[in-house]
Amino acid sequence: MEIERNHPLRRLFAELVQRHFFEDVRVRDAQVAGYVSGLLTDFTHQDNLYKIRNARGKRLDDVGEMLIESNPMLDASSFDRERAVRKHIGDYTLFLIGMFPEYVTSYRRRWKPAPDVFVDYVKAGKESYTIVSSFDQFEYREEAPLFRRLSETFELCVYGLHLVKRDLERYQQDYCRRVQATLGSQPTA
Percent of the chain with pLDDT over 90: 72
* Dist CA 159 CA 162 (whole Å): 5
Query: Which pLDDT score is estimated for 115?
Result: 63
Residue 186 pLDDT more than 60?
no
- Residues 61-78, buried b or exposed e (16+ Cβ, 10 A)? bbbebbbbbbeeeebbee
Domain ranges in the chain are 8-184
- pLDDT band per the 50, 70, 90 thresholds, residue 156: very high
Nearest to 29 by CA among 162, 164, 147, 167: 147
- Of residues 17 and 72, more confidently modeled: 17
**Residue 53 forms beta bridges with which residues?**
59
The whole model's pTM is what? Answer: 0.90
What is the four-CA torsion angle of 77, 80, 83, 84, rounded to 10 degrees? Answer: -80
pLDDT digits (tens, 9 = 90+) for 25-79: 999 999 999 999 999 999 999 999 999 998 889 999 999 999 999 988 876 688 8
Query: Which pLDDT score is estimated for 107?
Result: 64
pLDDT digits (tens, 9 = 90+) for 95-121: 999 999 998 887 666 645 666 667 899
Residue 152, Cβ density class (10 Å: 0-12 exposed, 13-18 middle, ≥19 buried) = middle
